Amino acid sequence: MAAVTSGIVRRVLALRPQSLSLSPASVRMISSTSLPVKVRIVEVGPRDGLQNEKVVVPTSVKVEFISRLASAGLTHVEATSFVSPKWVPQMSDHKEVMSAITTLPYPSVSYPVLVPNIKGLQAAVECGAKEVAIFGAASESFSKKNINCSIEESLKRFEPVLSLAKQSGVKVRGYVSCVVGCPYEGRIEPKEVARVAKIMYEMGCYEISLGDTIGVGTPGTIQAMLEEVVKVVPLNRLAVHCHDTYGQALANILTALQMGISVVDSSTAGLGGCPYAKGASGNVSTEDVVYMLHGMGIQTGTSLEKLVEAGKFISSHLNRDTMSRVGRALQAKAA
């Protein structure tokens, strides 16, 4: 926390009159009041985490994984994706997964699914989906690689999706990819991220998740991006989605929390990547995020022990160790 506190102090000192001095107690107060009391975790492991895995995971294992995550206290567990099996074979069993999770004994848990277009939404609604997610990008090149159309074309495609979702009583969450960097274009301008996020929010997305898809962000670039986005989208309608390619995810999340963000996407066992973002490692692990938050006195409503067990479960079916540092440490301690 020393580095965090010093950063806060520097910002305060830059604004203070020269005669003002800050006591250590004041520094602690500034640090604590800049953080949320509670953070909502959006678990993306079963969808964003598994979609890029080469090992085909049986439907029964996916459902058991989702059940364990819900049992751990997570209230939002992204379940699957209604995309063409041609593009994402791992998600070809979306109908079977949706059918199975409707019988799970967790009525208060939301199981959002990803939909690429109106056809995907229709299929999701037929399967009983109550919440869906759409995905855009702040990078023109990434948009064309990921969803085969320009940014403007993608935004146009979202219009009928939002319209039908509203008619069907289905909530829509919006993803914006490559919010600080792109594998094809490099640095992304914060103003472009803000522009895309604003359009998606005004279309009707109840929440916008800002994704550092290739994990190149740092606290500095995340802060600069958020400073632009909060000018056009309410703070309480934003989430962050960080990959840990360069080991910056937790620092970036902490920066977002200090700026007022209270919703964080993460993936149990650090599963994930992106099939259209070469070099992107997994999402930040849910276990690592929860360990950090609980250590700071921030509530999540989750059981770290159950999350570690869920991570161990899915990792065993992928024939590898968990990517979560916390998960590995606690498993080693218990051995």
Quick check: 42 and 24 in contact, CB under 8 A?
Answer: no
Counting beta carbons within 10 angstroms of the beta carbon of residue 40, is it exposed (0 to 12), middle (13 to 18) or buried (19 or more)?
A: middle
Name the one residue in this structure whose structure tokens are 């967790």. Answer: 106
178 is known as an active-site residue: no
Backbone angles phi, psi at 133, to 5 degrees: -130, 140
Closest CA to 328 of 296, 295, 285, 281: 285
Radius of gyration over alpha carbons of the chain, in Å? 20
User: Which two tokens mark 229?
Assistant: 């986005």
Integer angstrom CA distances of residue 249 from 137, 145, 163, 265: 19, 24, 34, 11
What does the DSSP assignment read for 39-100? -EEEE-IIIIITTT-SSPPPHHHHHHHHHHHHHTT-SEE--EE-S-TTT-GGGTTHHHHHHH
Quick check: 300 and 290 in contact, CB under 8 A?
Answer: yes
98-107 burial string, b = 16+ CB within 10 Å, else e?
bebbeeeebe
- List the beta bridge partners of residue 43: 77, 266
**Torsion sign, CA atoms 246, 250, 251, 252:** positive
Quick check: 196 and 155 in contact, CB under 8 A?
Answer: yes
- Active-site option among 178, 182, 242, 274: 274
Q: Could you list the active site residues?
A: 274
